[in-house]
Structures are given as structure tokens and as C-alpha cells.
Structure 1
Amino acid sequence: MTTLFDPITVGDMQLSSRIAMAPLTRNRSPKAVPNDLNVTYYEQRASAGLLITEGTPITQQGQGYADVPGLYKKESLDGWKRVTDAVHKAGGKIVTQIWHVGRISHTSLQPDNGQPVAPSPITAKTKTYLIDAEGHGSFAETSEPRALTLDEIPGILEDYRLAARAAIDAGFDGVEIHAANGYLIDQFLRSSSNQRTDAYGGSIENRARLAIEVAETVAKEIGGGRTGIRISPVTPANDVSDPDPQPLFTYLVEKLAPLDLAFIHVIEGATGGPRDNVPFDWDALREAYRAKGGKAAWMVNNGYDRAMALDAIASGKADMVAFGRAFIANPDLVARLKQDAPLNQGNRDTYYGGGAPGYTDYPTLG
């Protein structure tokens, strides 16, 4: 019987276990440049079967939070190269989550203090994280966005292509396209945030167009075996919703099936919240993907504990399980799960911003 701790081949990657570290924004990379602290943080967690980095903006326009690392300038890529070298030296595999936040941003983070972009000019009822000149972090309302014009979308696709190539050049084993949690691609998918009347709005086929084109663009540039995608069909995160998510996301995964992607990363339920917030048939979604010939590893996420993860793999409902907050406080989470050892509890006050406390100082079993 297959277990959570067995090795697995995911696309072009040979992984030591079926445990992934989910992307976790920590706001500890001033000027969008990975630093010594970030190197230590990822190196400490290299025993995960797969590390997925925090969301990493593909351009400054794609940046929505202060002090998150980027992929769009040399200093950032040099910093990431130090991270990937350290993880590989420790025997790990690492992909970066390529990210465009869309409307979840603030004018102070945008080029020339401009408006964030979105499918439609609808302000999200949520907050972003800013750091002032004295280094103090706080949450602030997102700024009013402007709608992307039709002739701007090819440029967005090119930004994704360049970021994916930059990630591979910086030593990453692959990328995860962030199409979840109410950011740009998800904003196009959901009817609450997408009120366009052109080829990218209205029907399911039109609203899914950007997600499919980004996946096609990235897979063509770096290979499907190094490309994953993250989706969150029913999360209300960042003020998105859709009245009928099952056919929308079924259509999306069916269109992703021919691309021979490495993995599909599915957030089940409300991100970081209840798993049953909206009725949704997760088995049917996976089976729809498989029925169209999709072979990517099916990675599940959201509220999984040890028993749930063991069952998901043993039952065949998933090929991998991603853990988020548990990895914050337990750099040796794989060993703890394998031994059924107690888990450290995370300090929420240090999740966002700051230095080593609450970031690289959690104890291991040793």
C-alpha cells in the first residue's frame, strides 16, 4: 500500500516523500530580495518532499504585499539562487509560486504609484500588508483597481513566461502558477470579480481563458514536467465568489489535462478555514481531470492532519498532501509526522514581517 512517506515522481522531479510545504507569505524580504534569513528558513525545511515557496511576484505590477520576494530583478534572482543552492545541498526539491496579485494591492506598491490591475474595476473588500518608513507593518485597505485592456493581456502572458524562465535560471526545480485565493487569475475565473464582456469574460470558457493561456505559456517555456498550478474552487479569500464553481473548475481542469503538468494543487474549502463552506464534489473534480487523460500528481491542501493525510494517500484520493501553517512551526515536519511526534504551535504574532523570531528559531526534534 502506498503511504504518505513513500517517494514519488512528479513531472520531472523525483521526490523523497508525498509531503509538500505549501506557499506561506512571511514578509521578510525587504526590497523584494531574498536574504540570509530566507536561505536559512528554506534550508531548515528541505526535508519536505517538495518545497513550494511563498508567492513570488512576476513583476512589480504583480506585487501586492510589502517585503515579499520577487522574480523580476537581478538582485532578487541572485538571492533566490542562494536559496535553491542551499535547499539542493540539503537534499531537497524546491519550486517557486509565480504570482500576480491583480487587484489585491495598494498604489504605494505599484509602479509610479499607479492603480492595481484587475479583470474589472471592482475594489476588493479586503486588506493588504504594508510596511512604513520606520519598518512598522500594518494592514491597509486595497486600492481601487483599473480593468486590464484587451491589448495588455499578451503582455501579462509574456510576464509569466519571463518569470518562469527566470525561476529555472535561478535554480528552481519548477514553478507553481498561483491561480487561487482571489489573485489575478482567480479574479478572472470568478464571476464576482470578472464582469467583462469581451473574450475574457461572461461564459465559463471565457473566464477560464487566462488561466489556461498562462498554463500553456509557462509549460511551453519550461516544460509541463516542471509546471504546477494551484486552484481554490470555493474559497472566499480576497473577496471572490462564484455561484456555480463545480462546472467552472471542472472545465478548467479538463483543459489543463493535455498539458502534462507536474501537479495540480487543490485547496479544498475556504483557505485556512472550514473545508465544507460550499458544497463541492472534490472526487468528481479529480475524476474529471483523469477522464481527460490528465496525469499530473493530485495535491490536496487545507486543514489536513496526520490521519487525514495518511488516509488521502492510502485511499488514492490524492498523490500528495501540502501542509501550510504546520511547516511554519515545525521545520522537521516530515520527521514529526513519520514518528507521530507532537507538533510545535506557531506564534501568529510573528507570521508576517519581523526577523528570526517566529521564523527560523522553532526547535526540531533533535
Structure 2
Amino acid sequence: MDVLFEKLSAGKLELSNRLVMAPMTRSRAVHDGKVTALHVEYYAQRAGAGLIVTEGTQPSVRGQGYVWTPGLHSDEQVEAWRAVTEAVHAEGSVIFAQLMHAGRVGHPSLYPDGGLPMGPSPIATGEKMWTPDGMLDHPEPREMTLDDIAEAVADFAAAARNAVAAGFDGVELHGANGYLIHQFLGDGSNRRTDAYGGSVENRIRFGVEVAKAVADAIGPERVGFRVSPGSDANGVSESDTDDLYAALVEALAPLGLAYLHILELGDRERTRRIRAAWPGTLILNPHPSPESFPSTPEDGVEALREGVADAIAFGALWLANPDLPARIKAGGPYNEADPATFYGGDHGGYTDYPALS
């Protein structure tokens, strides 16, 4: 397991180990999108990670996709996040804010004006949003105009500047799991006939524009980009996955981003092709086969030794094991994550997972 604890230089970042805490939505922010003292404790507990990537954080009001998720689009939200970044830095770790515009994955009940969520095309996800009062259907979104697209790009850049003001070391752009950037990538959710739809080159345009704008705003060395090739999360589909991500990686490579973060979905050969095309640091959430869920420390060691990744991201392991590095070094045991407490609630299933005695 020693390879997991080697130091890593990622652009201008110096990471104390190669263990990354993957972004995980936990829905414990207050109603106005502010994090709380509970978040401070949660992230500080897990600061043994070389890099922490926060839960998805909306860059704008319309970017919200779930109840009780945090934002980075108001002064009050920035100030609240500052307590988190200070606590994590005090423990010696590095922390990036994941910027997640949910696009069509939303609901009018989330927005003060009661308006529709937006997406590249007026195609609903076919799925539902959880609320304390029951499940609600995702509505058909409003198709984004060119002005809407330009505004969304600007919102990402503004949120990135807010993240730096809040003390974050950088941001990760969520281009995965069926959210807005991924919605533009997938030809099942993007039926546009303008410069943002149709060909692979057009469908990657929005994501690349967001990456360029954010890199210009805070510096490319502060920017990561997450993808999930082949994912059908939130109703997105891709008929041309290999060509799509080859083009995306080729377009992102010259920007000098801090890292590319891949959620692997059982196709190690695809990961190898992306690794060969990506010139910089690559973080992998490893699932080398369809049976390898959730991923294990052994999966991470295999990926590092094979050379398909420079650092390894874990989700459920970090959620349930705040002292994950110590447990890996000890060979376990590992706490089991409790799905009943993943979303919403108080400290239960959030900050009360025990550490090794």
C-alpha cells in the first residue's frame, strides 16, 4: 500500500499522499446554500486526504439540483465556506470546491422564481428529485438560449473566483454524472442544431468554454475537470463515447489544467486510452470491472502500479472512514457506509463514524 502514500506534484499543487476524497453530495447545507459548523467538522475529520474535493456546489441559483446543497454565488456562502477551508488547511490538506451546475436535473421548487431548470434541449431526465415531502418528477427543462449558455459560462468563472476568495486551493468542474456539462456532451440529452449540438466537436464546446473561462479567471493550475465516460446517470446517454472523450481530452489538454478526474465504469481499456492522451495529472475513481463497486484500496494500488492514474479517489470509503489513511496502513477494518444517512439529516452518518481506537 506504500504507493498510496507517496507525495504527488499536480501542477503547482503539492499533495502529501495520493489519496483523494471524491466529491459526494450530502444535502446538509441550510436553505440559503450556506455550509455550517457541521461541514467544518466533516471535512476537517477527513483532512488526511492529499486532496479533498467537496460535494457538488452550485455556481448559480438556477444551477441547484437538489435540496440543501451548498452554493458559491453569494457573499454569505463564500464567508461560510471560509471556515471549512481554514480547518482543512490547519490539518495540512488541500481542498478543491467542485462546481456543479445541475442543468435539467432540478425542479421549480428549488428556485425563488419557481421557474424551470435549464438544459441543452427540452428533454426531461425521466427521473425524480427527492424532497422531504416525497419524490417529484424532473420537468421538461427550458432549452438554453445562446445568452443562457454565455451566462452559465460566466457563472462558473464567477463561482471559481468566489472559491478562491473562500480559501479553496482550486475548483473541480463537474463534467460527469448527467449534470449540465455532461448533458451537452451526450447526444441523448443534446439535440441542438446550432454550434453546441450535433457533432462531437460541437457537443464538447460548452465544457471546453467553461474550462477556458475558469482557467482564465483563477489560473489553469487551480482547475480540475471530472468526467464519467459511458455513464447513463440522470438519463444522459452517449452513442459515441470513445470518439467523444478523445475529442474532449484533446481540447482540454493544451489548457494546462491541474488534473483530469475520471469516474471509471468498468472499462479499464478506455481508461488506458484516456491516460495515454492526457499529458497531465490524472485522478482515477477506480472501477476496473463491472463487479468492482465500491472500489477498494487494492484497486487503487493496482491502478497506480499500472500507471493509469497518478492519484486515487474514493467515495464511500472516505464517507464512512474519516481516518482512512490510518485504516489502509493497518489493513482495516473499515466502517460500512450507511445509505440511509447519505442525504440530509444531522451529524448521524456524517460526523459520527468512529475512528480506530
Shorter-normalised TM-score: what interval?
over 0.9
* 1:24-63 mapped onto 2 (5 Å cutoff): 24-31=24-31, 32-63=33-64
Could you say which residue in structure 1 is the equivalent of 2:291? none
Could you say which residue in structure 2 is the equivalent of 1:256? 252
Query: Are 2:130 and 1:129 equivalent residues in the alignment?
Result: yes
In structure 2, give the amino acid aligned to 1:3: V
1:307 to 298, 303, 311: 298
In structure 2, give the amino acid aligned to 1:142: H
Query: Are 2:10 and 1:10 equivalent residues in the alignment?
Result: yes
Query: Are 2:63 and 1:78 equivalent residues in the alignment?
Result: no
In structure 1, give the amino acid aligned to 2:341: T
- 1: CA distance, partners of 2:283 / 2:342: 28
Report if the CA contact (8 A) 1:2-1:314 is conserved: no
Query: Are 2:223 and 1:227 equivalent residues in the alignment?
Result: yes
Instruction: Give the superposition deviation at 1:2.
Output: 7.7
Instruction: Give the superposition deviation at 1:298.
Output: 3.9
Could you say which residue in structure 2 is the equivalent of 1:329? 320
Report if the CA contact (8 A) 1:5-1:338 is conserved: no
Partner of 1:53: helix, strand, or coil? strand
Q: Percent identity?
A: 47
CA shift digits 1:244-289 (9 cap, x unpaired) = 20010010001111011111000111xxxxx25xx96220121122
1:353 to 340, 344, 348: 344
Partner of 2:161: helix, strand, or coil? helix
- 1: CA distance, partners of 2:142 / 2:269: 32
Gaps of 5+ in 2: 288-293
Report if the CA contact (8 A) 1:260-1:296 is conserved: no
Gaps of 5+ in 1: 133-137, 270-274
- The TM-score with structure 1 as length reference comes to 0.93
The size of the alignment, in residue pairs, is 350
- The TM-score with structure 2 as length reference comes to 0.95
Report if the CA contact (8 A) 1:246-1:280 is conserved: no
Runs of 4+ in 1 over 6 A off after TM superposition: none
Partner of 2:193: helix, strand, or coil? coil
Report if the CA contact (8 A) 2:42-2:351 is conserved: yes
Partner of 2:242: helix, strand, or coil? helix
Partner of 1:67: helix, strand, or coil? coil
CA shift digits 1:131-159 (9 cap, x unpaired) = 45xxxxx4322122010011221111110
- 2: CA distance, partners of 1:9 / 1:203: 36
Could you say which residue in structure 1 is the equivalent of 2:310? 319
Could you say which residue in structure 2 is the equivalent of 1:103? 104
- 2: CA distance, partners of 1:112 / 1:301: 40
Report if the CA contact (8 A) 1:227-1:262 is conserved: yes
In structure 2, give the amino acid aligned to 1:17: N
Query: Are 2:212 and 1:216 equivalent residues in the alignment?
Result: yes
Could you say which residue in structure 2 is the equivalent of 1:340? 331
